[in-house]
Amino acid sequence: MRNMFEFKEVLPASARALNLTILRREVRDENDFDRVFGAINKDRPDGIFVLGGPLMQRSFERTATFAIRSRLPSMYDTRDAVDVGGLMFYGADVMEMYERVAAFVDKIFKGRKPADLPVEQPTKFELVVNLKTANQIGVTIST
Q: Is pLDDT above 70 for 5?
A: no
Where helices occur in the chain by DSSP H, the ranges are 2-5, 11-17, 32-43, 54-58, 60-69, 80-83, 94-109, 131-137
Comparing C-alpha atoms, which of 117, 92, 93, 120 is closest to residue 105?
117
Domains of the chain: 2-90+126-137 (3.40.50.2300)
Q: Structure pTM?
A: 0.80
- The pLDDT tens digits for 8-61 are 777 788 888 988 888 889 899 999 999 999 999 999 999 999 987 899 999 999
In the prediction, which pLDDT does 128 show? 95
